[in-house]
Amino acid sequence: MHKETEIKLRVSRETLAALREHPLLKKRNKSGWERRELMNQYFDTPERDLAQAKVALRLRKDGEAIIQTLKTRGQSVAGLSERNEYNWDLPKAKLDVKKLDGECWPEQLAELDKKTLKPIFTTDFVRERAEIAWGRGKAKVVIEAALDLGLVIAGKQKEEICELELELREGEPSALLELAAELAATLALMPCDISKAERGYRLFDANSYSLSLPAPQLSAETPLDDAFAALSWHLLGSSQRLAEQYRFNGHWRLLQDWVDNLAEMRALIASLGQAAPRQATSELRLALDALLEDWRPLVQAGQDDEDVRKAAPEQFLEELQDPRWGQFSLNASRWLLARTWTAERNTRGNRQGAAQLSSWLPRLLGDEAVALQLQRYQQQPEDLAEQLPRIERIQAWLHHARHVLEIPELDRLYGELNKLQQLANEPITEESLDVRKHQAIAVYQNRAWKTLLRL
């Protein structure tokens, strides 16, 4: 068994060709490009028990070699994935279920009848691989770069494989992100943690690609730095999965959720005060602002305009063909991995970063609630939109961390503020102003809101 640490990047055929000749890879290519044709057959039960257990089982024909591989449940954070992999050389292209035992076979599949395992789809592709030496001071780093071009085929359904895989052979995982980010400076590289096996399953069922990632486990004792890091990784990873699925099927709701994820990440960054000095967050804020400036108005316009919704998938493909999305995703991952917001902050900022959520969060929400001055917008509802950033900061934390606070009616407050936020985004009419006024009153009279105002 070995632990596989890699990052997958979806590319176009043009980008794949450019990578082959990229100066950055040419300079550090220690092996030259080796071309191999890989034929892969994946197996599962008719009920897809392996897929549900997050397990992939395949036979691979690599030249004259036949290799049986089992990949078990791992973890994936914003495109950087890590999982256990077991390989066996076989004398012929026939699944050997006797190998699937002992420590490699997941406990949750212990009762599975392995005789029910059948071929379900193939992934056949040409791989050009090279060994890249990526120096990081005195630390040795070896990365395998693989350019894959081929097809996933499930019955009559097919999808193109066109991607760059970077797999860590030696060194620290951050080196993968460094190399990918430098390549993404001029090329459109889309971090994408969907495996070739997941693509095969998705051809059977377009909804089988799970968009939901495990929610961060925050407690009252979680330090602010840890809570922010966990939430940001979660939002970044979710946004990448949403981007991949919207690219695949164009469902409008996915684009809305993608924008909401980016907006929440922006709101969390803005809420940290001295725990995240502005200089340390500047690059990330500017990248998020640029994305939101383009996509938030489009999503708002599409709420009531079917033509906008129909045109959006093509516009999104243009976004993915530009380096911007890949640059943001990879640089945000590097920023989070290095915890850049903690660098060069003052003593007060360090204290805030180390503070437990149960002590820091009530103060933040209380300060924001007082500054919002909701009673003013009961009289001047037309000005409510100017307070959207403040509402979004409150909502981002209530969305993910309200369970750590012992304040009554926080769930209800979160719902009422959602309504107020939606109204602040709508065009102003005589009717909408009246609804805004009454919703501001509903929030102001909420027990949790009154508690926050007293903190």
What would the pLDDT profile of 213-222 be if each residue is shown by its tens digit? 888 999 999 9
Let me know if residue 188 belongs to a domain: yes
pLDDT at 83 over 80: no
CATH number assigned to the domain comprising residue 54 = 2.40.320.10
pLDDT of residue 82: 67
Instruction: Count structural domains, the chain.
Output: 2
Which range among 129-138, 238-247, 318-327, 372-381 shows the weakest confidence by mean pLDDT? 129-138
Let me know if residue 448 belongs to a domain: yes
Structure tokens at 320: 């993915």
Let me know if residue 326 belongs to a domain: no
Q: Which of 182, 210, 238 is the last residue of a domain?
A: 210
Beta partners for 80? 7, 77
pLDDT at 10 over 90: yes
pLDDT of residue 263: 97
Which range of residues forms the domain containing residue 395?
356-454
Question: Which residues are CB-contacts of 154 (< 8 A; sequence separation ≥ 6)?
Answer: 120, 121, 122, 200, 201, 203, 204
- Please, what's the largest Cα pairwise distance for the chain? 80
Q: Which of 210, 242, 276 is the last residue of a domain?
A: 210
Asked whether the beta carbons of 150 and 124 are under 8 A apart, the reply is yes
Let me know if residue 141 belongs to a domain: yes
pLDDT of residue 193: 80
Let me know if residue 299 belongs to a domain: no
Let me know if residue 130 belongs to a domain: yes
Let me know if residue 73 belongs to a domain: yes
Residue among 254, 262, 157, 266 nearest 205 (CA):
157
Residue among 396, 394, 388 nearest 421 (CA):
388
Let me know if residue 246 belongs to a domain: no
Q: Which of 179, 210, 241 is the last residue of a domain?
A: 210
Reported confidence tier of residue 90, pLDDT bands at 50, 70, 90:
very high
pLDDT of residue 381: 87
pLDDT of residue 426: 86
pLDDT of residue 2: 64
Q: What is the mean pLDDT of residues 160-175?
A: 92
